[in-house]
Amino acid sequence: MTGWRIIFMGTPDFACPTLQTLIERKENLVAVVTQPDRPKGRGQKLMPPPVKSLALQHGIPVHQPLKVRDPAFIELVRELRPDLVVVVAFGQILPKAFLDIPPQGCVNVHASLLPGYRGAAPLNWCIINGESQTGVTTMLMDPGLDTGPMLLKSATPIDENEDILQLHDRMAVMGADLLAETLDSLRAGAVTPEIQDESLTCYAPLLKKEDGLINWCRDARSIHNQVRGLAAWPVAHTYLEGQPLKIYRTRVANGSGLPGTVLTAARGVLEVACLSGSLKIEELQLAGKKRLDSISFLAGCPVMEGSVLGSMTETDPS
């Protein structure tokens, strides 16, 4: 166990590999801070955040403030005397009064190659925008939104068919590895914080349900990227004979026709025309039905070639 007293702050699955790494390195974890339990599922049962469950498995004290700006919580953190705070996808902006507490600062693991894609959904928007590369960055936090000085970066290519679920899992592990490297570099005095170039920034806002609406009057690659980037939530969707149709996985093809027109719906192939090119829909779900591959879907729900998905009055949601 090292001398630094560390508080870990994180909430979702993405943060768990980093917490697990700190545990395995036998870091001096004095507390874990995460969001309050939230109701989930049809029964709206209160469920703990993944980070809380992992921390309790290892006997680490857990704190769940409703608001980190609460003076009582900030005083609690002062009493814990952390040398360093590690933050991964916590879910609240930390005030300066909090950031000033640990003498070694607050280190954030951010899922983008800063200064690009600041904000709440960097991985999603990176895919939606068709980027071929992304990565993780560690930085010293300041009161701004992902604006602090950068420490280390690690880059990775994005496959043209990789979706947000696949990329999320890879990046969570990359973030954990980079945080370990960052801690070693900080202790050795071997890293110099780098100020972000504001001219290179872009914003990755929270996703909205309407971001999932497909406008077939776009090129096939752009719609394919939308499907990939929203495969976890809210899921790209259109309409089949007036019924909502979620689309989870597609492949770009070279067909042509009126945008939204079903070009092929036979032998397990469901191909739809876009403004340029076409998409082969490989995994989808009709409202009230199970999520299916295209073979199973067409076997139980025949689709007429020449029918049109969605509405020609739809506008580009992006």
Confidence (pLDDT) at 18: 98
Q: Is the pLDDT of residue 313 over 70?
A: no
CATH 3.30.450.40 fits 5-204, yes or no: no
Confidence (pLDDT) at 43: 85
Confidence (pLDDT) at 2: 57
Confidence (pLDDT) at 316: 41
CA distance 87 to 71: 19
Confidence (pLDDT) at 312: 40
Mean pLDDT of 214-218: 97
Decide the pairing of beta strands 203-204 and 262-266: unpaired
Model pLDDT for residues 32-87, shown as the tens digit of each residue: 999 999 998 888 899 999 999 999 999 999 999 999 999 999 999 999 999 999 99
So where are the chain's domains? Answer: 5-204, 210-300
Give the pLDDT band of residue 138 (cuts 50, 70, 90).
very high
Residue 290 phi, psi dihedral angles, 5° rounding? -80, 155
Mean pLDDT of 281-297: 97
Residue 12 phi, psi dihedral angles, 5° rounding? -85, -175
Give the pLDDT band of residue 3 (cuts 50, 70, 90).
confident
Model pLDDT for residues 225-235, shown as the tens digit of each residue: 999 999 999 99
Mean pLDDT of 7-22: 98
CA distance 68 to 77: 10
Confidence (pLDDT) at 315: 41
Q: Which CATH superfamily is 210-300 part of?
A: Formyl transferase, C-terminal domain (3.10.25.10)
Give the pLDDT band of residue 155 (cuts 50, 70, 90).
very high
> In whole numbers, what is the pLDDT of the chain averaged over residues?
95
